Amino acid sequence: MAYPHADIEARWQAYWEKHKTFRTPDEVDPTREKFYVLDMFPYPSGDGLHVGHPEGYTATDILARYQRMKGVNVLHPMGWDSFGLPAEQHAINTGNHPKGKTYENIDTFRRQLKMLGFSYDWDREIATTDDEYVRWTQWIFLQLFKRGLAYEGEMPVNWSPDLCAVLANEEVEEQRAKGYRVERRAMRQWVLKITAYAERLLADLDDLDWPESIKEMQRNWIGRSEGAEVDFAVNGETLRVYTTRPDTLFGATYMVLAPEHPLVDRITTPEQRAEVEAYRTAAAAKSDLERAELTKEKTGVFTGGFAVNPVNGESIPVWIADYVLWGYGTGAIMAVPAHDTRDYEFAEKFGLPIIQVVEPPEGVDWRGYVDDGVAVNSGEYDGLPTEEFKQRITAWLEERGVGEAKVNYKLRDWLFSRQRFWGEPFPLLHCPKCGVVPVPEDELPVRLPEMSDYRPTPDGQPPLARAEEWVKAVCPKCGGPATRETNTMPQWAGSCWYYLRFIDPRNDRALVDPEKEKYWMPVDLYVGGAEHAVLHLLYSRFWHKVLYDCGVVSMAEPFRKLVNQGMILGEMEYTLFRDAATGEPVSYDQTTANGQYEQVRLTEAEVDKAGDGFVWKAQREIVVKARADKMSKSRGNVINPDHIVKEYGADSLRLYEMFMGPLTQVKPWSMKGVEGVFRFLNRVYRLVVVEETGELSPRLSDETPTPEQLHALHVAIQKVTEDIEQMDFNTAISAMMIFVNAAQGWERLPKKLLEPFVLILSPFAPHLAEELWHRLGHEETLAYEPWPAVNPEYLKRETIEIPIQVNGRLRGRVQLAPDSPEAEVLAAALACPEVQAHLAGKELKRKIYIPGRMVNLVVG
């Protein structure tokens, strides 16, 4: 027998919808405290919701419901990141506009989310594919364009012939992992000048309440480095290099240019030309990734040219090698093999000289020593510590006009166009007379046309180029004929600013009303997966700063606090390996990568822990594989939230996902664990209702709760309150379980005792809580009932138990009043018989009392 979760959940979801319980007022009251709690909105894929989604969504929902009960004005919205490749693929396959499939998927997602009882203000729902939303995405792009932050260039890009699309550097890995080919190709592209904001994006990270790991990832991505540019003379020309170690200039024994460097042509000697050309051709054919993959073995070719080192007039050979990147610094380096790992490898391979110029600490080999030290073999600079040397030599270079201090970033400009149909069209026209002209703001949005063929063209022309009528336009400047830009924006565009639109989703005069923006921003808590650590979060911050500079938003950073939920893995699986040929079981640690094995699933009962691993009970020398894997269709270990809700109810799913462990941690799914929280909810239900009859429990009473009951209740209130604030949801649930375990043993259950308990349960299991609240005699929703306050009086105990240690080992306990003076506690401790046995015949050297916690007696 189980509590009627299906009825209860349907009833309260209907109630919330009918009463618009979670509607956030449109008008803002600046005097009211606010809390903007945001989930990373999902891409509504055709597969529907998976169990990973409700993890973060439940966490934010608990916070939202809790804050409402604290009287805070809460903004808790949901929407759809609805542009995306799967819908476009569907359109290509069927010839139908991707819109249809997209909005069907949204309907599925919305139904599934409502089924889980999240307290979103659904009146604020937005989709990035809505015309009204696209309008403002395009508007923001125009602001970037007008500020010179969007430019067009013939760029070497990552072209995927399978996707017929250009990918951002950041996306290459992801798409390759999915099996798509990616190669280099030069194409006309729109690029956003994110590098202009590199310094601010880096500096403003410091004040954010984000996980340190995410901030660190962004810092690494931006990759700021300080150093110097130095001019070397080659054949009367200047070869400029970038180095972070100008102090090692005396140790430069050769130079390396990127194969693409324009100087290569002019310095290559006739004897070396053929070899150099061959190397350059080979390098050009490789993608960035292929170049990186050949890391193991350095390659390069001598150009025949020599460069003169400005600090000592030495002539050193100039090589080309693909370990030097054309896109970073000046595309050329001075090589200091003694103190740079890459240069060292290269010099070793090609027999180039290695000169020590940094003295490492005592006992460390100078060869390949890359850290700071003291200068040697550097003329008048000998003896200088690295840091000081850097400054002196940079000043010297600047004085002579042969170099300067320079800051560099790894961050590249953001390749912003895609040769796809299903994205925001660029609000730009190409006019033969006026060049690139923005579409006037009052003509936005530029809508996508209806088409019959959504395929991209194999030559890289976007599908929009086929929409001949759509492409034709009139230039707003000269009135002459113009053509529309046929590239579209990447999926990131819509997700860059959606958190702003939630504040004022139906505004048709501005993307957000400034007064409302000022009230609601920043987002107080942003929860989502760590996979967006760099891309989405960096792009959003960039756009936000541009909007800040435009005066559209009032502060420089959008997300005050960020939390990443940990991934939910499939169930723990025990696998026995058998030799495919003989059928003999093979120990997992004996298996090899190219061996052929039959894999057999074992149950927990068939295995036993042995040392670090698990063995097969039937044959204990056989080690089995024990691990939980990522959920995936191919592994067949995907848990469908619909099934869980059907079987156990939404409250159980919510509660289980919060009870599994700390929110931020990776954790394996356990069906048994779901049943565990389900049993807990059943027990809660039975405190109030007699399950068989549906009648109120005869144990309920109008009496005043006993001190013992109040104590248990207020301990729970305190723990749940603290834990919600710290997002330690698993221990909050544990505290409620402790209360319910105690309550089961009580003969009488005063309503005044259960009511506050139902309230603290409500953020976690809102449907059941509403039902019980109602059954306890309330007409209205509990969503805005004041959060129960802890009464410290009830937390006090008449006596407390003090553990007594002798030499740090627990030997006994004493019962005392909590405010007993130290002397009394120590006397009781010494009098304790179990303790005395360990004191006998020894000298008492020290007595330590930690008030209310414990006693330690040190004897010798």
Partner RNA sequence: GCCCGGGUGGUGGAAUGGCAGACACAAGGGACUUAAAAUCCCUUUCCCUUCGGGGAGUGCGGGUUCGACUCCCGCCCCGGGCACCA
Q: How many residues sit in the footprint of RNA (CB under 7 A)? A: 87
Interacting residue with RNA among 9, 130, 340, 424 (CB under 7 A): 340
Handedness of CA 591, 596, 598, 599 (dihedral sign): positive
Least separation in angstroms between CB 779 and RNA: 30
Shorter beta-carbon distance to RNA: residue 425 or 528: 528
Give the residue with the Cβ less far from RNA, 39 or 728.
728
From the CB of 420, what's the least distance to RNA, in Å?
23
**Comparison of 497 and 685: residue with beta carbon closer to RNA:** 685
> How many helices and strands in the chain, by DSSP H and E?
28, 36
Question: At its nearest, how many Å lie between RNA and the CB of residue 290?
Answer: 10
Decide whether 203 or 810 has the Cβ nearer to RNA: 810
Among 178, 509, 609, 633, binds RNA (CB under 7 A): 609
- When the beta carbons of 320 and 429 are compared against RNA, the nearer one is 320
Pair 462, 165: CB distance under 8 Å:
no
Closer to RNA by CB, 112 or 378: give it: 378
Q: Of residues 675-694, which lie at the interface with RNA (CB under 7 A)?
A: 675-677, 679-680, 682-683
CB of 673 to RNA, least distance (A): 5
3-state secondary structure (DSSP) of residue 696 = strand
Q: Least Å distance between CB 37 and RNA?
A: 22
Task: Indicate the residue among 446 and 533 with the shorter CB distance to RNA.
Answer: 533
Q: Is the peptide bond before 317 cis (omega within 30 degrees of 0)?
A: no
Comparing C-alpha atoms, which of 125, 843, 178 is closest to residue 506?
125
Tell me the per-residue interface mask from 797 to 826 with RNA, x by CB under 7 A, - otherwise: ----x-x-x-xxxxx-x-------------
337 binds RNA (CB under 7 A): no
Shortest distance (Å) from residue 345 CB to RNA: 7
Nearest C-alpha neighbor of 586 from the set 573, 574, 599: 599
Determine contact, residues 60/66, Cβ cutoff 8 Å.
no
Q: How far is the CB of 377 from RNA (least distance, A)?
A: 18
Q: Which is nearer to RNA, 593 or 605 (CB)?
A: 605
**Minimum distance from CB of 72 to RNA (Å)?**
25
Are the C-beta atoms of residues 511 and 500 closer than 8 Å to each other? Answer: yes
State the binding string over 821-850 for RNA (x if CB under 7 A, else -): -------------x---x-------x-x-x
- In the complex with RNA, which residue's Cβ is closer, 453 or 608? 608
Whichever of 18 and 609 has its CB closer to RNA, that residue is: 609
- Least gap, CB of 730 to RNA (angstroms): 5
* End-to-end Cα, the chain, rounded Å: 62
**Of 737-796, which residues contact RNA (CB under 7 A)?**
737-738, 741, 744-745
Q: 629-648: which residues touch RNA (CB under 7 A)?
A: none
Give the nearest distance from C-beta 328 to RNA in angstroms: 4
The yes or no reply on residue 510 touching RNA (CB under 7 A) is no
Q: Would you give the DSSP letter of residue 42?
A: P
Tokens of residue 355, six digits? 């000169």
Q: Which of 86, 156, 460, 673 binds RNA (CB under 7 A)?
A: 673
Q: Which of residues 512-571 bind RNA (CB under 7 A)?
A: 530, 533-534
Q: How many residues does the chain have?
A: 860
Query: What span, in angstroms and rounded, lies between the C-alpha atoms of 227 and 250?
Result: 16
Write each residue from 197 to 226 as x if it is in contact with RNA (CB under 7 A), else as -, in one continuous string: ---------------xx--xx--xx-x-x-
The C-alpha angle 724, 62, 562, rounded to 5 degrees, equals 75
3-class DSSP state for residue 151?
strand
- Kindly state whether residue 298 participates in binding RNA, applying the rule CB under 7 A: yes
Q: How far is CA 120 from CA 17, 65, 124, in A?
A: 10, 10, 8
Q: Map the footprint of RNA across residues 120-179, applying CB under 7 A.
A: 173
Which residue in 219, 211, 203, 224 sits closest to 545, CA to CA?
203
Residue with tokens 């309008």: 135
Using CB under 7 A as the binding rule, whether residue 715 contacts RNA is answered as: no
Establish how many alpha carbons lie within 13 A of residue 388's alpha carbon, considering only the half-sphere containing its beta carbon: 8
Interface residue with RNA, options 666, 696, 776, 830 (CB under 7 A): 666
Closest CA to 265 of 322, 318, 303: 303
Distance CA 418, CA 158 (A): 11
* DSSP letter for each residue of 359-421: E-STT--STT--S--EE-SSGGGTT-BHHHHHHHHHHHHHHHTSEEEEEE-S---EE--BS-S
Span 236-275, contacts to RNA by CB under 7 A: 242-245, 258
605 binds RNA (CB under 7 A): yes
Q: Give how far Cα 480 sits from Cα of 120, 242, 430, 476, Å.
A: 49, 48, 11, 8
